[in-house]
């Protein structure tokens, strides 16, 4: 079945870049997503990438996709304390209806 | 739009009691999803609806769980009888699908359930 894996924790200093990594198993994944969850809140979409792309940039966020290795990464430039949150990688297949989430990576930003 | 509205935000109940969680999706969205979040299992998809019709309930853990969507603006997730292992945060999310495009989910704030 589909599986999405992420490391659980990442700690960076304010102003540094953060790179959160994710691997997935479903080769038919069509869209890959990054969601952010702040304490006590629901998940919020940050960005997504179509599987025929290898990079997408949106302000401080850069998504890299290596489809051959089924590896997705999210780079946050100039990380701020407000970026402290849990970041979820997710994928949906051709049908697109079921979105499968990873366990989430908790990002700590030290001032 | 006020976003996806869930109630209650917090529920504490005793084992064996019935629990009903409620969700109001974003107006015009045609898909509704129920997820459960725990430390041990992460975010699990329980069931989803399209145009009020349940499409896939393979994630519903047991017969004690049931979900309904009587109309486009309301859905419930019911647990009867509840057990301590049902303690989790339950999220409702909705989306508007256009063709075979991305499934962008809008989540509610969640309902935190504690079963004693």
Report whether the peptide linkage leading into residue B31 is cis, meaning its omega lies within 30 degrees of zero. Answer: no
Nearest to A42 among B31, B91, B101 (CB): B91
CB contact under 8 A, B42 and A103: yes
**Per-residue model confidence as pLDDT tens digits over A52-102:** 889 999 999 999 999 999 999 999 999 999 999 999 999 987 665 788 899
- Evaluate whether A28 touches A89 at the Cβ level (below 8 Å): no
What is the DSSP code string of B16-47? T--EEEEEEPPTT--EEEEEEEETTTEEEEEE
CB contact under 8 A, B103 and A43: no
**Per-residue model confidence as pLDDT tens digits over B53-88:** 999 999 998 899 999 999 999 999 999 999 999 999
Residue A89: half-sphere exposure toward Cβ, Cα within 13 Å: 27
Report whether the peptide linkage leading into residue B8 is cis, meaning its omega lies within 30 degrees of zero. Answer: yes
* Closest C-alpha among A20, A99, A29 to residue A62: A20
CB contact under 8 A, A40 and B103: no
With 0-12 / 13-18 / 19 or more C-beta atoms within 10 angstroms meaning exposed / middle / buried, residue B44 is middle
**% of chain A exceeding 90 in pLDDT:** 72
- Touching check for A30 and chain B: CB below 8 Å? yes
Q: Output the average pLDDT for chain A.
A: 91
Predicted pLDDT at B11 = 97
Predicted pLDDT at A60 = 96
Sign (positive or negative) of CA dihedral A103, A105, B103, B2: positive
DSSP 3-state of A83: helix
Look up tokens 């047991």; give the residue. Answer: B62
């Amino acid at each position: 079945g589909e599986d999405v894996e992420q490391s659980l924790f990442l700690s960076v200093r304010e102003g540094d870049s953060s790179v959160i990594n994710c691997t997935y198993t479903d080769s038919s994944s069509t869209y890959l997503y990054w969601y952010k969850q702040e304490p006590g809140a629901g998940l919020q979409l940050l960005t997504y990438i179509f599987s025929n792309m290898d990079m997408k940039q949106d302000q401080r966020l850069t998504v890299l996709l290596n489809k051959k290795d089924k590896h997705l990464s999210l780079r946050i430039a100039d990380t701020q304390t407000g970026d402290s949150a849990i970041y979820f990688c997710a994928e949906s297949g051709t049908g697109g209806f079921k979105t499968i989430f990873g366990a989430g990576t908790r990002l700590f930003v030290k001032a | 739009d006020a976003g996806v509205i869930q109630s209650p935000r917090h529920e504490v109940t005793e084992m064996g009691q019935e629990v009903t969680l409620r969700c109001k999706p974003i107006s015009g969205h045609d898909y509704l999803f129920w997820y459960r979040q725990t430390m041990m299992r992460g975010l699990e998809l329980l069931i989803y609806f399209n145009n009020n019709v349940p499409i896939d309930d393979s994630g519903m853990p047991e017969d004690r769980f049931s979900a309904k969507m009587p109309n486009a603006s309301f859905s419930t997730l019911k647990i009867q009888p509840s057990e301590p292992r049902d303690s989790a945060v339950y999220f409702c999310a909705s989306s508007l699908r256009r063709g075979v495009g991305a499934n962008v989910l809008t989540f509610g704030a969640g309902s935190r359930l504690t079963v004693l």
